[in-house]
A = this chain, B = another copy of it.
Amino acid sequence: MRADAQRNRAKVLSAAASAFASGGFGVPLDEIAALAGVGPGTVYRHFPTKEALFQAVMEERIASLIDFASSSSADPGAAFFAFLGRIGEEAALKRDLSDAFVVPSDLQARLHEAFNALLVRAQAAGAVRRDLEFPDLLALLKGLLAGLAETSRPERLLAVVMDGLRA
């Protein structure tokens, strides 16, 4: 890819990230373009659709989460709770991480898989209560993420949910 194109793509992505974060998916694409200092056509050259742009923003984050989940430590319980902690950190910074779990995409499926694996192993090891299935955990997490974005002391929320999850 040409250098200028790459530069603009990056500018668009970062503008979109911050615009979506503060205004949700509803922000006009023209506004994102203006924020990136390019014309709307340039946005469309890089992303065929507003939704595609949104997904691209999300996927950057999801990819790093998948990495984290996959490189799990030996202790299943510790791995599970470490992942929760990591998510908590992210969500506290960016308001729209919760959307990352909703917008459907390949990466999202892989994130689910990785997270599910963590859950199953932690439950098998007796570190997490067994009356919880993955969809429940997912809903809980999505809510938690939304909550984390609203508070100035995310560690308190995390502590409550983690304690509630322990066997």
User: Given the known A-B contacts A151-B136, A164-B162, are A156 and B143 also in contact in the complex, defined by CB atoms under 8 Å?
Assistant: no
For residue A98, CB closer than 8 A to chain B, the reply is yes
**With contact pairs A161-B161, A164-B164 given, residues A156 and B132 touching in the complex (Cβ less than 8 Å):** yes
Q: In the complex, are the beta carbons of A139 and B164 less than 8 A apart?
A: no
Q: Is the CB of A147 within 8 A of B157?
A: no
Cβ of A153 under 8 Å from chain B: yes
Cα A163 to Cα B159 in complex, Å, equals 12
**Residue in chain B with minimal CB distance to A98:** B146
In the bound complex, CA of A135 to CA of B150 (Å): 9
Partner of A139, one of B98, B150, B165: B150
Residues of B within 8 A of A157 (CB): 136, 139-140, 143
Interface presence of A145 (CB below 8 A): yes
Give chain B residues whose Cβ lies under 8 Å from the Cβ of A140: 144, 147, 151, 157, 160-161
A148: CB under 8 A from chain B?
yes
Interface positions of A from 109 to 167, Cβ below 8 Å from B? 129, 131-133, 135-136, 138-148, 150-153, 156-157, 159-165
Complex A-B: 23 CB contacts under 8 Å: A98-B146, A129-B160, A131-B156, A132-B160, A136-B153, A136-B156, A136-B160, A138-B150, A138-B151, A139-B150, A140-B147, A141-B147, A142-B146, A143-B143, A143-B144, A143-B146, A143-B147, A143-B150, A144-B147, A160-B164, A160-B165, A162-B164, A164-B164
